Structure 1
Amino acid sequence: MKSNFARHSVTIACGSGFLLFGYDQGVFGGLLSNKPFLETFNNPSSTVQGQIVATYDIGCIMGTIVSMVAGDKLGRKRSILIGCVILIVGGILQAASYSLAPMIVGRIVAGIGNGMNTIAIPIWQAETAEAHNRGKLIVLQLVTNIFGIVITNWMNYGFTYIPNSAISWRFPLAFQCFFAMITIALVFVSPESPRWLVMRNRIEDAKTTLVRLTGRPIDSPEVVQEVRQLVASVHHEAEVQSSVTIKEVFSGGEQMTFRRILLGAGTPFFQQMGGTNVIAYYLPVVLVRSFGMTDRMALILSACDSMSLMFWGAMAALIIDRIGRRKLMMFGVTASSVCFAMVAVGLRYSGPDGSNKGMSILAVTFIFMYYVFYGLSLLSIPYMYPAEINSQRMRNTGTSIATAVNWIFVYVVVVITPTAIDNIGWKYYLIFAVFNICFLPIIWRWYVETANLSLEQIDNLFRIKHEGGSGISWKEARRLALIENTTEVDDKLQGVNQAEHVEVRY
């Protein structure tokens, strides 16, 4: 029971942090059509609107840099606590703004806090979860992320009934501070990552944490064995990495460090350039400007669509570990390509005034269908894969790089979307259809499955593949990584190496 409480407290704290993340993602989509908000800031153009929204992402990039430099020193819990405090300051600045300057500063400050959280939270969850539940738990925290977007959509809709009051935009911006305070309280009562404690040579603290997470006595074989594995893994990586030059890091090495960093960073690139934030940040704007809907109807449909995404994201928890990350990514990018292509077709032939209702309905239908396929696949994988694929020593750095890639391309999409919708219309959605289909062969050729492997087994997978070279497939390397008997693994690798060097005579 104690172990369930400890693991559940981590999951709930992570979920609260990601609910805050989702709330911040969705809150501005409804404010860009809010009359008191627009009047306060002198009716900004679509370009300025894009910049107001996107400055948050600049802050997130800055937050990832902070975590990259200081994340391993601060620890997972402390990083989240500091991130939430910074976010509260940013929320207060935004809610109290009367001009663009403090609003932009508030957006950047809040982004710094959120950038720190989006690195620390997935790592903390991955390092405290059991291997067979890791994917499911990270999916569930992403579902709470979408719940944050649901809250903002319904809140913005509710405030349309007091359309002339400044509270209709100030309260939603201030309310993010409430979720930050809830997250702080939950993090305080949750255990630190045992892997991070071992990295800091706090072995006794790691044992105590494992007792909380497993519910077993401190001298039980399971706890003793887990500590030994963590210590061995950290020491091995320290030995390997300490002698590696910068050139060797970029060329590979036993742990294939650079390849793993690229694989982790690729997943948020697929997510962002696949078009998700055209919908997540701007769906009310899309429905008003591309489809000619009223503000209120756009907010109702946005809320319903985000609830659909929350449902399908929850369904992903049932299949993410069974089907695996790689297959779901291939499925997701293929289906997303079809959806954006059909949205483009529907808008192209709906007429400039939307007179062809059938084609308009087709386009809206596929916007809703996009969230079905996205929720089952690329919603959660970019947040779990970098934390899984990178080694213990490189996990914070690799996840920081992946998160920086995420926020860079969030910024790109968010800043250009209002202008692109106004200027190129249906062609903008076609761009994302092309991007998604181009991702398919990349995932099929280079991505490695991590489902149902412990973090230590993933390290072992890359070591085995590196030592076996072209003589061993990734499928066989995965099978060997699951084997506890190291003698069998060594015998297999020795046989592969001998086969590669044998001289054939005729």
Structure 2
Amino acid sequence: MIVGRVVAGVGNGMNTIAIPIWQSETARAEHRGKLIVAQLVTNIFGIVITNWMNYGFTFIPHSPVNWRFPLGFQCFFALVTIAFVLVAPESPRWLSTSDQEVVDEIQSLEVSVNHESEVQQSKPLKAIFKRNSKQQTLRRILLGAGTAFFQQVGGTNVIAYYLPVVLTRSVGLDNRMALILSAVDSMSLMFWGSVAALLIDRIGRKRLMLFGAAGSSVCFALVAVGLRYGGPDNKGMCVLPVVFIFVYTVFYGISLLSIPYIYPAEINSQQIRNIGTSFATTTNWLFVYVIVVATPTAIANIQWKYYMLFAIFNFCFLPIIWHFYVETANLFLEQIDRLFEIKHEAGNAISWAEATMIARTEDISDLAHTGKEKLETEHCEVVA
């Protein structure tokens, strides 16, 4: 079991790093958000299957099949994944070399890579700590990892991982009813995650994070209140935590369910994208571990106060998101690079919104033709 868990952990770690990068590089800017949301909805579908399977096998408690089958059934999805990966296109973001749009994008990629080499003039690891860098590499890595921190410290795994425990130990439900509600909650999360696909590119990442953190803060506060005042003599208050656990799913599903898997791959430059996404993934799993280890002991010892901690954490995220985070929706990855350069060069003279407008107006095809002319000029000078 331990060896299998280690092997599965290494494989899952590779996938959680590679998949967001692959999707961000192969998708069009206007579709990038909704496609990665679709990935996360599929992920939640797996949790739905798991929860209903857990419930179903409670009816055969004395047979080894009740734990052997759920473990073995995971292999089915691994085989499906392998089959689909074999026919999936490779990154970078082009499949043909004849279409003019594709040619322009290839040239823009060449310009972007050459420009990054000129600006950073160092190896990737040195570029991270380079002072006064136009690419603002360290800031971008921290912004990407910050979304993973928000997701886990915001309390998602208290609900997703431990909801049956929460409902039995904190609310007082019986084990079978707790499993049913957990399965229904995961179905609700899948639905609201699907709704995010309609909003992620229209409303943007930053606004949805603000919406999600604010709503999650209120929900956890009300869960704590219900647990504090509920009990055998006040069963009406016991309903409050259950209701607001489901309401939390709405806010989380629309926002921080998917954004931590989109943002690190978008915000980091071509040169640092692998490193930045890996750091964000490491941050994610590190705090998954912290929350998963702490939760049973915290529920037993501080009870309702534990949920109030997550209300406070989510509230504290709001000024950080408002002040430091940059909107990436509907921008090409090269435009995001230009956005940071423009803001660095202009400083406080322009806002991030104004810098975004400037970066957006620099048409990708124009940049490609300009870069092509520059490359041809440099080539002629070398020949001369």
TM-score exceeds 0.5 = yes
Alignment-derived partner of residue 103 in structure 2: 224
Deviation at residue 285 of structure 1 after TM alignment: 1.3
Alignment-derived partner of residue 246 in structure 1: 126
Contact 1:252 1:258 in 2 (8 A): no
Contact 2:120 2:127 in 1 (8 A): no
1:458 to 322, 329, 336: 336
Deviation at residue 458 of structure 1 after TM alignment: 0.5
Relative to structure 2, which stretch is displaced further, 240-249 or 227-236?
240-249
**Alpha carbons of 1:173 and 1:250: their partners in 2 closer, same or farther (altered >3 Å)?**
farther
Structure with more relative contact order (C-alpha pairs < 8 Å, separation 6 or more): 2
Relative to structure 2, which stretch is displaced further, 435-444 or 178-187?
178-187
Contact 1:453 1:482 in 2 (8 A): yes
Deviation at residue 286 of structure 1 after TM alignment: 1.1
Deviation at residue 467 of structure 1 after TM alignment: 1.4
Asked if residue 356 in structure 1 is aligned to residue 234 in structure 2, the reply is yes
Deviation at residue 237 of structure 1 after TM alignment: 1.7
Identity of aligned residues (%): 70
Contact 2:342 2:355 in 1 (8 A): yes
**Alpha carbons of 1:247 and 1:141: their partners in 2 closer, same or farther (altered >3 Å)?**
closer
Q: Distance in 2 between matches of 1:423 and 1:275?
A: 17
Alignment-derived partner of residue 235 in structure 1: 114
- Pairs within 5 Å for 1:402-441: 402-441=280-319
- Pairs within 5 Å for 1:146-225: 146-194=44-92, 209-211=94-96, 218-225=97-104
2:202 match: secondary structure: helix
Alignment-derived partner of residue 274 in structure 1: 154
Q: Distance in 2 between matches of 1:108 and 1:194?
A: 31
Amino acid at match of 1:366: F
Contact 1:386 1:402 in 2 (8 A): yes
Alignment-derived partner of residue 313 in structure 1: 193
Alignment-derived partner of residue 179 in structure 2: 299
Deviation at residue 108 of structure 1 after TM alignment: 2.2
Deviation at residue 241 of structure 1 after TM alignment: 2.9
1:302 match: secondary structure: helix
Relative to structure 2, which stretch is displaced further, 354-363 or 333-342?
354-363
Q: Distance in 2 between matches of 1:139 and 1:252?
A: 34
**Alpha carbons of 1:288 and 1:248: their partners in 2 closer, same or farther (altered >3 Å)?**
closer
TM-score where L is the length of structure 2: 0.92
- Pairs within 5 Å for 1:371-382: 371-382=249-260
Q: Distance in 1 between matches of 2:8 and 2:132?
A: 36
**Alpha carbons of 1:250 and 1:172: their partners in 2 closer, same or farther (altered >3 Å)?**
farther
Alignment-derived partner of residue 213 in structure 2: 333
1:210 match: secondary structure: coil
Asked if residue 122 in structure 1 is aligned to residue 7 in structure 2, the reply is no
Amino acid at match of 1:193: S
Deviation at residue 252 of structure 1 after TM alignment: 4.3
**Alpha carbons of 1:374 and 1:248: their partners in 2 closer, same or farther (altered >3 Å)?**
closer
Deviation at residue 147 of structure 1 after TM alignment: 0.6
Paired residues, what number? 365
Q: Distance in 1 between matches of 2:113 and 2:76?
A: 38
Q: Distance in 2 between matches of 1:248 and 1:139?
A: 29
TM-score where L is the length of structure 1: 0.70
Q: Distance in 1 between matches of 2:308 and 2:199?
A: 29
**For the aligned residues, what is the CA RMSD?**
1.7
Q: Distance in 2 between matches of 1:225 and 1:376?
A: 35
**Alpha carbons of 1:250 and 1:303: their partners in 2 closer, same or farther (altered >3 Å)?**
farther
Q: Distance in 2 between matches of 1:282 and 1:485?
A: 48
Contact 1:335 1:370 in 2 (8 A): yes
Relative to structure 2, which stretch is displaced further, 284-293 or 392-401?
284-293
Q: Distance in 2 between matches of 1:191 and 1:105?
A: 32
1:321 match: secondary structure: coil
